[in-house]
C-alpha cells in the first residue's frame, strides 16, 4: 500500500516577543492510502499545530523552519501559495474542532459549501448546489434542500459538526484531517460522527488523520497511532500493539489514566504527575523526564532518538 503523506523531521516554531519555541519538534509520520491514523496526546502536545503545518495554515507568528512534507509525491513546502490553495480544501481537507468558529455566521450553510465546490471543481453554481445537497444527505442531514438556506445558528452542535464534515468532503479530498471533531458533543452524537467518518473513509478509500486526546476513540477507529508529547513523537505503532504492548512510559501513563469498567468504586484513578511544559521550556534531555517515574540522569541530560524496537513499533526512550 502506497504512502499518501510523508512527513520527515518537521519543526514548527512560534515566536512571541524575543522568545522562540518549537511546537512541533522533529516530527515524522507516514500515512498509508486508505488508512485511519490517529495522533494522540495531551493538550499542548503539538497535535493541532502538526495539522496546520500540513495545510500551511499557521498564524503569523508560526513558521516551519525545517523538514519535509510530501503529499502524493509532491513537496508541498516548496510550492507557491497559489498552488497550495488548489490542494487545500480540494485534495486535503480539515474538520476543525469548533464548528461555530469555523463557519461564517452571516452566510447560509449552502453558500459556504457551494463556494468551495465552485472554486475547486470549476462547475456552475446550479451544479454545485445539487452536489451540496447530496453531500448533506450523505452526512445524515434530512431535508437537505431546505437546510441549505439555514445559517449556522439554526443547527445544533452535532448538526454543525455534520455540516463541517460535509464541507470537508464536498470536493472529494484524498486526505481528510479531523481535529478532535467530537470534543464538544454529547456521547451519542460523538458516536454518530465517528461512525460517519469511519464509514466514509472505508467506503470511499479516503485516508483519515484523526487527532484526539481520547484513547477510547483511537481504539475504536484507528489502524495506527502516533503518541505526541511536547511536539515530539514518543511512540508509533499499530493500534493493537499500542494497547497490548505499550513501550513508552508516557503511553503507559495515558493508558493507566483511562477509567476501567472493572474498577473498584474506592480505587483512585491514576494520573501522570506534573503538567506538560509550554513550548518555550528548554529541555536538555527527554521532555517527559520531569514527569517520568523511571527517568534517570541520562534521561534528563540526553534526548533519546526515536528508534524501531520491533517491526513497525517505534519508541523514543532509553528504557525500552
Q: Which pairing describes strands 175-179 and 307-310: parallel, antiparallel, or unpaired?
A: unpaired
Q: Which three cell numbers stand for residue 256?
A: 493507566
CB contact at 8 A, 122 and 163: no
Cα gap 177→180, rounded to integer Å: 10
E strand intervals along the chain: 3-16, 19-32, 36-40, 62-71, 74-75, 92-95, 175-179, 207-212, 224-229, 232-238, 307-310, 313-315
CB 108 within 8 A of CB 116: no
Q: Which residue has the higher pLDDT, 161 or 63?
A: 63
SS3 20: strand
Question: Could you read off the pLDDT of 154-188 as tens digits, one per residue?
Answer: 998 888 888 988 888 888 899 999 998 877 677 77
Residue 100 scores a pLDDT above 80: no
Q: Which pLDDT band holds residue 234 (cuts at 50, 70, 90)?
A: very high
Could you report the per-residue pLDDT of 5-34, keeping only the tens digit for each? 999 999 999 999 999 999 999 999 999 999
Q: Are 68 and 60 in contact (CB under 8 A)?
A: no
The 10s digit of each residue's pLDDT in 179-223 is 988 776 777 778 888 888 888 788 888 999 999 988 988 999 999
Distances (CA, A) of 140 to 90, 161, 197: 22, 11, 12
- Helix then strand count (H, E) for the chain reads 12, 12
Rounded mean pLDDT of 46-74? Answer: 96
Number of neighbours of residue 271 by Cβ within 10 angstroms: 9
* Structural domains in the chain, sorted by start: 3-91+175-313 (3.40.50.300), 100-172 (no CATH)
Residue 98, sorted as left (phi over 0), alpha (psi -120 to 50) or beta, turns out to be: beta
Distance between CA atoms of 231 and 185, rounded to whole angstroms? 27
Best CA proximity match to 51, nearest among 211, 184, 217: 211
Amino acid at each position: 500500500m502506497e504512502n499518501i503523506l510523508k512527513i520527515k523531521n518537521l519543526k514548527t516554531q512560534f515566536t512571541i516577543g524575543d522568545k522562540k519555541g518549537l511546537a512541533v519538534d522533529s516530527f515524522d509520520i507516514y500515512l498509508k492510502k486508505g488508512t485511519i491514523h490517529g495522533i494522540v496526546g495531551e493538550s499542548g502536545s503539538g497535535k493541532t499545530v502538526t495539522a496546520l503545518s500540513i495545510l500551511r495554515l499557521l498564524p503569523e507568528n508560526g513558521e516551519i523552519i525545517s523538514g519535509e512534507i510530501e503529499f502524493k509525491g509532491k513537496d508541498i513546502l516548496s510550492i507557491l501559495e497559489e498552488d497550495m490553495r488548489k490542494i487545500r480544501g480540494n485534495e486535503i481537507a480539515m474538520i476543525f474542532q469548533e464548528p461555530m468558529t469555523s463557519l461564517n455566521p452571516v452566510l447560509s450553510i449552502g453558500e459556504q459549501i457551494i463556494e468551495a465546490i465552485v472554486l475547486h471543481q470549476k462547475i456552475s453554481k446550479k451544479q454545485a448546489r445539487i452536489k451540496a445537497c447530496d453531500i448533506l444527505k450523505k452526512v445524515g442531514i434530512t431535508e437537505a434542500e431546505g437546510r441549505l438556506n439555514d445559517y449556522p445558528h439554526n443547527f445544533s452542535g452535532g448538526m454543525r459538526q455534520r455540516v463541517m464534515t460535509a464541507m470537508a468532503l464536498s470536493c472529494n479530498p484524498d486526505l481528510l484531517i479531523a481535529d478532535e471533531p467530537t470534543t464538544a458533543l454529547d456521547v451519542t452524537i460523538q458516536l454518530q460522527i465517528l461512525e460517519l467518518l469511519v464509514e466514509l473513509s472505508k467506503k470511499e478509500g479516503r485516508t483519515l488523520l484523526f487527532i484526539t486526546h481520547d484513547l477510547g476513540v483511537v481504539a475504536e477507529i484507528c489502524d495506527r497511532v502516533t503518541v505526541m508529547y511536547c511536539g515530539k513523537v514518543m511512540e508509533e505503532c499499530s493500534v493493537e500493539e499500542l494497547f497490548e504492548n505499550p513501550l513508552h512510559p508516557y503511553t503507559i501513563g495515558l493508558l493507566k489514566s483511562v477509567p476501567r469498567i472493572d474498577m473498584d468504586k474506592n480505587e483512585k484513578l491514576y494520573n501522570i504527575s506534573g503538567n506538560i511544559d509550554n513550548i518555550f521550556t528548554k529541555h536538555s534531555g527527554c521532555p517527559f523526564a520531569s514527569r517520568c517515574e523511571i527517568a534517570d540522569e541520562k534521561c534528563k541530560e540526553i534526548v533519546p532518538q526515536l528508534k524501531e524496537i520491533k517491526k513497525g513499533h517505534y519508541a523514543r526512550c532509553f528504557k525500552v
